[in-house]
Structure 1
Amino acid sequence: MSENTPRGPGEPPGEEPGAPGAGEPEPQAPTDRPAGPQQPGGAPSSPEPQRPAGPGGTPSPADTPPGVTAPGSAPPGGYGAQPPGGYGAQPPGGYGAQPPGGYGAQPPSSPTPYSGAPAPAFRVGEALGYGWNKFAGNALLWIVFVLLLLVVSVVFNSGNIPSYQDMWDSSQTNSGVSFGGSLLGLIGAVLAGIVQGLGTNAALREVSGQKPTFGSLFQAPNLGMIIVAALLLIAAEFVGFLVCGIGLLVVLVFAVFTYQGVIDKNQNAWEAFTASFRLVGKNFGAVFLLELALFGINILGLIPCGLGLLITIPLSYIALSFAYRRLVGGPVMA
């Protein structure tokens, strides 16, 4: 301040206004640290205390976010801690162990046997051998079944011994109806269809590993639909007979699994009838060869006074049920 500046009243001489006095401390230089929040009453709060740094100037563990290892700190378990099982521990099953089912194994399929899986092939000799083994293990029941079928055929054909064609139709699970017959013949054909349904049910039990008994022989599921299926087969064979006999041959070959569909899959008669046509059509070669083989062994069974039919007819039922289960992917027990 210039010396010519007038002094105010009360100012001591020789001192400029605003200059620090002799006993006053010099003002502090302002810092860049923001002041803390104001306390009630206008006094600023004290700043947060600084946490001490770790060794070497590294942040202390308290300043490290959760889940992050502070620099210079040891990992959990200390340096050199081994992983579970130790270094070099083998994975479950050992190195190179194959996955369940082997490499390239298909994922598990539905336990349902009729889930649309590809139909496995069967051999004619395999089906015949299977039928023979099952017949030999329960021969008495199957002989009684054939005698029952024979009695129905004799009684409802006016006491005449049935022809081989009737017996062969029965072995193929068809109706064996005599065209142009009387009402008694129609009743006999329906009864024969019921007996054939019972035989098919027993054959399916054999294939399932459930040895049929005399009690279970007369217990077939869906008996009412078996009767409807017998009537449907009678009508189909009659229509086929009118078409120069060619239609009859078609029905005998392609409708062979009708009773199996009714009993094993609980289908109605028409569904089982059409499903049999589709199944045989998709596997015509194997099924037709099996039917030819059964035709041949039933001819051989007819030679010794027809006694061989006591064996060949049950074998035919079991072999056809075996082939059916294999073609639809159903269970087949040894």
Structure 2
Amino acid sequence: MIVDCAIYADGHRMEGPEDFSDALEEARGAGGFVWIGLHEPSEKEFDLVTEEFGLHPLAVEDALKAHQRPKLEVYDDSLFLVLKPVVYEPDSDQVSTGEVMVFIGDCFVVTVRHGEGSPLGAVRKRLEQEPELLGKGPTSVLYAISDAVVDHYLDVATELQTDLEELEAEVFSPDGGGSRHTASRIYTFKRQVLEFRRATGPLTLPLTRLVGSGPSGGTVPFVNEKARPFFRDVSDHLARVNESVEGLDRLVSDILSAHLAQMSVRQNDDMRKISAWAAMAAVPTMIAGIYGMNFDHMPELHWLWSYPAVIGAMVALEILLYRLFKHRGWL
């Protein structure tokens, strides 16, 4: 569906026509650009946009099917950028990703959003309050969307760091994270970090190209040369995010290893205790077994105090073994 359609000239908004097929012509006549926002459009709806703005069929296919990695594609008549906004749900501790596709031409911007994350209405309103930035043309929209997505990455990274600290405190608590669900929680957290990493990592190369310091050098078409410092700022923020994600990934791996080591030590302690109690139970069992063999010629069978003496010997040996194991820390 078409969420919004407007023409921008000299940094100010002009309402787009009812039929957006005339929007591009009006934008060119006003010396500005048209920005059309779509949310999960159908193929029929997008065919109209494709025909009007001459979008490349490969980019159109990616925009309709979604499930793309962050990337930047340059075509003859447009620039195509894929971003993956991230949403963190603290109630369920889940990281979910959406997709935002941005088509940039000489005087048009088409944004296609999939998923509920990162609505672009707030970005549009913020830009409309900054006429000087909006006056730079379609590049300003590309920068504003990239900046909003990457800044939200920083917020998600902070929330994940908080959750990781809570998980770390649980694992290194006095009971050593003894809950049977601790390992499952650690593994689930690692999956969330991996999902986050899939959104942030591949975006490094597109932003590097927008800054103009990519392997091929030069500039990217349809991007204002004066916008490089803005994209450099976004790239710096993304570098911070990627460093945070790397740190989270390493820490959660270390926490999982520490938890497994604690579980192994605890199992060894349990086995030592079981072995100690088994050894203590073996002594009276052995003595009772000897006196239960029913031979005629056994010592002290007819002695009046033989029964209490044997019981006393068992108790004495049990006390001796108990103190020995206690001293060694087995009990």
TM-score of the aligned structures, taking structure 2 as reference length: 0.21
Q: Which has the higher helix share?
A: 2
**Which fold has the larger relative contact order, with Cα–Cα distance below 8 Å and residues 6 or more apart in sequence?**
1
Report the structure number with the largest CA radius of gyration. 1
Q: Which has the higher strand share?
A: 2
TM-score of the aligned structures, taking structure 1 as reference length: 0.21
